[in-house]
Structure 1
């Protein structure tokens, strides 16, 4: 009897560590990126050549204000990613919306709210075109959105003749991008509002659950009655509209509409989105993780630049971050699927 009891206790004792180990591992997975961000901030705050500048209020405001465009572009990316689709056109659409809103206000004299609405609407139209190609014509999302990105960039270049639109941008629009409210860049409030809306949409509505179901298994989603093509189409429309908002924020921040800068935001947005999929809810694209990814990349690049790194550091870091993030998020997703 005693032997049997001891065996039972020994068996239970032997199984306890494996239970604790997965819980500890899950905790580390969720918050490792946040811990790394904190360590980076601590390092650059103490490192000799960056300590004074990195911790200055002006630099912190610069990071937060400048990354507002990337943050919204990254949030645009995670909507189709949740649905299992890539959108490589977010940067080009962002640039297009910036040019359209800028010329609508500066050249055609439209009121600022109308110009902004036109910029966002153009983004949604491009997203609709992407969604139609992918959902109803069966074109691979990578190919479709890459082609759209190239086409849009070419049309923007043709329309602007590669000239920066800078004259006549309304002061009320540029003030939104430069003036601070309670010491915080106003664009940051816009990011917070958009993030809250996207979070609620993806996490607390049937629509968000349907998107995740389609992303997990289109076949299963179709069997339970979901209109898979319509869900895919809607995810691209939302992505395009959010990219349009990012373009308007870029116009407000820069005070100009540069036809060359848009496509460069795609890599930064995807890097942040995939980094975000390694944090908070590892293996899934989520809003808080995405914003954390944006800050991680921004702080890293900012600290390196302040320490004297060359211009090639930012694109190199973004590319490396994307590769690492894709690898980790894929591994976490497989582990998550294995648990379920």
Structure 2
């Protein structure tokens, strides 16, 4: 009886380590960098970490929505950039003077791009990773058209253009607040609504969902549109932070965002993509990036550390979870 109790306790401890590995890594790295550089724990630096995590995190959460249904959008970086470019062009031409209306126009257009993604990837049946890659090249063309292949900046943009990315509420960046609000909204959508239940069920077993009457194609279609919209808003946040629009704005953080979504699948519900995990993973990558810079180490070290943490986390899940890691359709 005693051996069974010990075994059960060991099993519980192992499960908790598995579930909270990313959060533990966050805490350990914060302590590690604070020892190396005492100023690391200053409020301003911690807020910088949240701001950095916001861009990767929002784009990663967007990517994770479509990954939850077993698909992949490799064009989310281009969609983020295109949204920012449309916003900049609309505001800069003087056609729209109200920032909020410009944002709605840009998101409407990128929502239509999400519809195109879904049409090819879900309705027509082209493998989603091929369809989104191809459509991303079209988006790249529009981006170059709108930006002229250069960094886009216009003195006519309203002051509100920089508010989301540069303003503060006391010591807290508005960007960090936006990150938290978006994360809370997507968490509610995925974890607390019937639609979110369908998303997760389809990711686990689409064939079974069809048999019980769930419209799998419709749910996947909507997931593509949501991914595009969230990715587009990430582009708006990124351009607001820099105060300009670069042609590589979205592509520069896309791989980090995808990695955050994948790494997030090792948190809380190991083997399943989830919003909470993506947030914690984004914070982890931000801590590493900030810590390496703060301590004056070469940039390549952050890539090595990120890679080590990713391979350890996913390797542990692959070895300990019967179902293995979550997958997406690549063809």
Do both proteins adopt the same fold according to a TM-score greater than 0.5, normalized to the shorter chain? yes
User: In 2 relative to 1, CA 270–104 (structure 1 residues): closer, same or farther, beyond 3 Å?
Assistant: same
The equivalent of 1:256 in structure 2 is 244
Specify which of 252, 255, 258 is matched with residue 270 of structure 1. Answer: 258
Cα distance in structure 1, aligned partners of 2:108 and 2:267: 32
**Structure 1 unpaired stretches of 5+:** 1-11
Corresponding position: 1:305 with 2:293: yes
Using the alignment, how far apart are the partners of 1:318 and 1:154 within structure 2? 32
Q: Which residue number corresponds to residue 88 of structure 2?
A: 102
CA contact (8 A) 1:77 1:269 kept: yes
Tell me which residue corresponds to 1:15: 4
Residue 56 of structure 1 is aligned with which of 18, 23, 42?
42
Q: Structure 1 residue 180 and structure 2 residue 199: aligned?
A: no
Q: How big is each residue's C-alpha offset from its partner over 1:208-267, in whole Å with a ceiling of 9 and x where there is no partner? A: 111111111111111011111111111000000111111111122111111122112211
C-alpha distance in 2, partners of 1:170/1:326?
Answer: 45
Deviation at 1:115, TM superposition (A): 0.7
The 10-residue stretch of structure 1 (304-313 or 131-140) with the greater mean CA deviation from structure 2:
304-313
Cα deviation for residue 301 of structure 1 reads 1.4
Contact 1:41 / 1:299 at 8 angstroms: preserved in 2?
A: yes
1:9 — aligned with what? none
The verdict on how the C-alpha distance between 1:293 and 1:163 changes in structure 2, with shifts beyond 3 A counting, is: same
* 2:60 match: 74
Distance 2:67 2:42 in 1: 36
| 1:152-205: CA deviation from partner (whole Å, max 9, x where unpaired) | 123312332212111122112213321211320012221111111111111111
CA shift for structure 1 position 100: 0.8
Taking the aligned partners of 2:320 and 2:110, their CA distance within structure 1 comes to 32
Residue in structure 1 matching 2:219, options 231, 248, 256: 231
Tell me: CA distance 1:329–1:255, structure 2 relative to 1, closer, same or farther (3 Å): farther
Match of 1:137 among 101, 118, 124: 124
Structure 2: distance between partners of 1:118 and 1:173: 14
CA separation of 1:274 and 1:116: change in aligned 2, threshold 3 A:
same
Look up the SS of the partner of 1:80 in the other structure. helix
Distance 1:136 1:259 in 2: 30
Provide the rounded CA distance (Å) in 2 between the counterparts of 1:101 and 1:331: 46
Structural mapping, 1:115-134, within 5 Å: 115-134=102-121
Q: State the alpha-carbon separation in 1 of the partners of residues 127 and 310 from structure 2.
A: 21
Q: In structure 2, what is the Cα distance between the partners aligned to 1:316 and 1:86?
A: 25
* RMSD (Å) for aligned C-alpha atoms: 2.1
Counterpart of 1:43? 32
Q: In structure 2, do the counterparts of structure 1 residues 211 and 332 end up closer, same or farther at CA, with 3 Å as the change threshold?
A: farther
Normalising by structure 1, what TM-score? Answer: 0.88
Tell which deviates more after alignment, 30-39 or 314-323.
314-323
Compute the displacement of 1:146 (Å).
2.1
Q: Measure, in 1, the Cα distance between the counterparts of 2:94 and 2:304.
A: 39
Unaligned segments of structure 2, at least 5 residues: 326-331
Of the structure 1 ranges 322-331 and 59-68, higher mean CA displacement relative to structure 2 is found in 322-331
User: How many equivalent pairs are there?
Assistant: 323
Whether contact under 8 Å (1:30, 1:281) holds in the other structure is yes
Return the alpha-carbon distance in structure 2 between the equivalents of residues 70 and 38 of structure 1: 19
Distance in structure 1 (CA, Å) of the matches to 2:320 and 2:59? 23
1:163 to 147, 150, 175: 150
